[in-house]
Amino acid sequence: MHTREMRTLKTLIRLALGLALLGLTGCYPPNALEMDYGNAVHNNIAQQVVNPTAGFNPKPAVGLPPQASANNQERYDKTFKGEEKKALEMKLLGQ
């Protein structure tokens, strides 16, 4: 009988400790991602205030012409080819 009461008491203590730790997590300060919550909504509202009829414009926003974007992508890809060669040379030299 004595061991059963001790086991129950230990279980209750563990449960109380777990609840206390769970309650303390609410005191943890927000991280950088949480500090940014809601900024996208505020930005969209500000843009609607500046130009409320933007949604009725049948002409979509246009980015880069296809050839210009292809050239940019090729230049971007070439920057990694140099790094791959350097990494391979370093590996072959044993550095």
Structure tokens at 3: 């061991």
Would you call 63 helix, strand, or coil by DSSP?
coil
Task: Report CA torsion sign: 70, 72, 76, 82.
Answer: positive
Would you call 81 helix, strand, or coil by DSSP?
helix
Which residues of the chain, if any, have pLDDT below 70?
1, 82-85, 88, 94-95
Predicted pLDDT at 71 = 93
Structure tokens at 67: 């050839």
Predicted pLDDT at 17 = 94
